[in-house]
């Protein structure tokens, strides 16, 4: 092979405004350059305790069993379900998008009898319908997505978790898209298992998944009649690595642990309240700019997820062509629609480090220009409308 056959790594500069990953702060990237140590090194075991303590602050919980699952948010979704479910158990899933459906799929693969309470895409799952289904089916586990990345809705959780608890069920909540960007208090929610991902509002590299289990979920782990079907995702084994006696389970991705520790420091230094307010301001500004263009969102106004905006594609516009132009001409990545919203929306993520006023203004300016060049009928003044929102927020 010649040097030409081994080109340098591509390193494009992007503004990540899709459904994840989000931009990563420079200090978090630098943390990954820390010299490698063993996952059983005494200093790494100290770091595990510090990461767990930070996760409790971000999750707003006192749960003892709080750690990082190896893998992306999908590993935590699968881990949460397979650790609680045994073949023949009934699992009730609220589905209104791609990720609720995935929860149901995982539960079926684990041998559960799955009941789905469905809602139209862009709408929440009706808490009353969930309560009725819980009373009727008496599930062992109730699963719901708090921030549905495919549709941009924020699901109320507390009423569903209370109904599940009243009937002896455990509640699993997906906060992959929402943790660190919108309010979510694990202990106040009544949820028994809550998980997230590293690469969205927490602005860390992909590859780790925070998860926390309450006392009732821990009791369920101890009461299992058979081993968890996945050795790698078995929380009883991961617990013994993260906590005393720190028994080897797998070779942990220590460089990602360094990044996660530093990323959580960034979150907590900013403060959850200020961070959440920043995300909300960027969402309001984006809406103002889109309104000036005559463009709406495909999500229920009463339950919009501020960090993920399903922007409706104007009539006659090639959604994929606009995305390609945003990337090629401006280095801006936005996401395509999924499932029932494919080709109908652009998924604009305002998450973590990416949720900055300058990014919102850049996107709106680029989008207004490209839409006009593509022959779309749209308004003007998107940047000015968004800037006025940021100006008001600063007053």
- Helix (H) / strand (E) element for 346: namely strand 345-349
The dihedral through the CA atoms of 15, 19, 20, 25 has a sign that is positive
pLDDT band, very low/low/confident/very high, at 41 (cuts 50, 70, 90): very high
State both tokens at 360.
Answer: 């919102």
Domain boundaries, the chain: 26-269, 271-394
Q: Per residue in 226-236, pLDDT tens? A: 999 999 999 99
Confidence at residue 1, expressed as pLDDT on a 0 to 100 scale: 67
Q: Per residue in 183-225, pLDDT tens? A: 999 999 999 999 999 999 999 999 999 999 999 999 999 999 9
Confidence at residue 53, expressed as pLDDT on a 0 to 100 scale: 98
Confidence at residue 4, expressed as pLDDT on a 0 to 100 scale: 72
State both tokens at 84.
Answer: 């609680």
Residue 295 has pLDDT above 80, yes or no: yes
Nearest to 238 by CA among 250, 227, 222, 228: 250
- The CA–CA distances, whole Å, from 35 to 42, 129, 256 equal 15, 52, 12
Report the C-alpha gap between 4 and 313 in whole angstroms: 41
Weakest mean pLDDT among 60-64, 321-325, 343-347, 390-394: 390-394
Report the C-alpha gap between 51 and 62 in whole angstroms: 14
- Convert 282-291 to b/e letters by CB count within 10 Å (16 or more is b): bbbbbbbbbb
Confidence at residue 314, expressed as pLDDT on a 0 to 100 scale: 96
Confidence at residue 46, expressed as pLDDT on a 0 to 100 scale: 97
State both tokens at 383.
Answer: 């940047």
Which CATH class for the 26-269 domain? alpha beta
State both tokens at 25.
Answer: 């702060």
Nearest to 354 by CA among 298, 275, 287: 275
Query: CB within 8 A of 109, min separation 6: which ones?
Result: none
Confidence at residue 305, expressed as pLDDT on a 0 to 100 scale: 98
Residue 7 has pLDDT above 70, yes or no: yes
State both tokens at 392.
Answer: 């008001």
Does the domain at 271-394 match CATH 3.90.1150.10? Answer given as yes
Query: CB within 8 A of 283, min separation 6: which ones?
Result: 304, 306, 307, 309, 350
State both tokens at 194.
Answer: 């809550």
Report the C-alpha gap between 306 and 184 in whole angstroms: 13
Q: Measured over all CA atoms, what is the biggest interatomic distance in the chain, rounded to whole angstroms?
A: 67
Residue 71 has pLDDT above 70, yes or no: yes
Residue 11 has pLDDT above 90, yes or no: no
State both tokens at 208.
Answer: 């780790």
Report the Cα 204 to chain-centroid distance in Å.
Answer: 12
Count Cβ atoms below 10 Å from residue 355 Cβ, excluding itself: 26
Helix, coil or strand: residue 192 = coil
* CA distance from start to end of the chain: 61
Q: Look up residue 19 and give its DSSP letter.
A: S
Report the C-alpha gap between 256 and 60 in whole angstroms: 22
Region of residue 207 (left: phi > 0; alpha: psi -120 to 50; beta: else) = left
- 270-282: average pLDDT: 98
Report the C-alpha gap between 118 and 97 in whole angstroms: 9
Q: Apex CA 201: angle with CA 82 and CA 53, to 5°?
A: 65
Helix, coil or strand: residue 159 = helix
pTM exceeds 0.85 for this model: yes
- The CA–CA distances, whole Å, from 135 to 60, 140, 168, 170, 301 equal 29, 12, 10, 13, 29
């Amino acid at each position: 092979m010649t040097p030409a056959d081994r080109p340098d790594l591509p390193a494009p500069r992007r503004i990540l405004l899709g459904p994840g990953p989000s931009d990563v702060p420079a200090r978090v990237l630098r943390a990954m350059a820390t010299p490698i140590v063993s996952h059983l090194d005494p200093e790494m075991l100290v770091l595990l305790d510090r990461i767990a303590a930070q996760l409790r602050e971000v999750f707003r919980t006192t749960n003892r069993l709080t750690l990082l699952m190896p893998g992306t948010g999908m590993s935590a979704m699968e881990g949460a379900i397979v650790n609680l479910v045994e073949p023949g158990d009934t699992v009730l899933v609220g589905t209104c998008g791609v990720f609720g459906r995935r929860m149901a799929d995982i539960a079926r693969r684990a041998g559960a009898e799955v009941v789905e309470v469905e809602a139209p895409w862009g709408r929440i799952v009706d808490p009353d319908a969930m309560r009725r289904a819980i009373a009727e089916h008496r599930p062992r586990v109730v699963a719901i997505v708090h921030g549905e990345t495919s549709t941009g809705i924020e699901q109320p959780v507390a009423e569903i978790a209370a109904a599940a608890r009243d009937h002896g069920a455990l509640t699993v909540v997906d906060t992959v898209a929402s943790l660190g960007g919108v309010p979510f208090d694990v202990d106040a929610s009544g949820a028994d298992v809550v998980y997230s991902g590293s690469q969205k509002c927490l602005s860390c590299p992909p590859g780790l998944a925070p998860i926390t289990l309450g006392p009732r979920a821990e009791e369920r782990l101890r009461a299992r009649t058979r081993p968890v079907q996945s050795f790698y995702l078995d929380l009883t084994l991961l617990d013994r690595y993260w906590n005393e006696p720190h028994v080897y389970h797998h070779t942990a991705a220590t460089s990602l642990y360094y990044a996660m520790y530093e990323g959580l420091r960034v979150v907590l230094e900013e403060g959850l309240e200020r961070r959440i307010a920043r995300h909300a301001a960027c969402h309001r500004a984006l809406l103002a700019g889109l309104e000036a263009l005559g463009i709406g969102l495909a999500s229920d106004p009463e339950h919009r997820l501020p960090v993920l905006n399903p922007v409706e594609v104007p009539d006659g516009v090639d959604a994929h062509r606009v995305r390609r132009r945003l990337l090629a001409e401006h280095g801006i990545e936005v996401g395509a629609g999924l499932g029932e919203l494919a080709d109908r929306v652009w998924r604009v993520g305002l998450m973590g480090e990416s949720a900055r006023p300058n990014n919102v203004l850049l996107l709106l300016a680029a989008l207004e220009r490209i839409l006009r060049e593509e022959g779309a009928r749209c308004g003007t003044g998107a940047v000015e409308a968004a800037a006025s929102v940021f100006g008001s927020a600063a007053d």
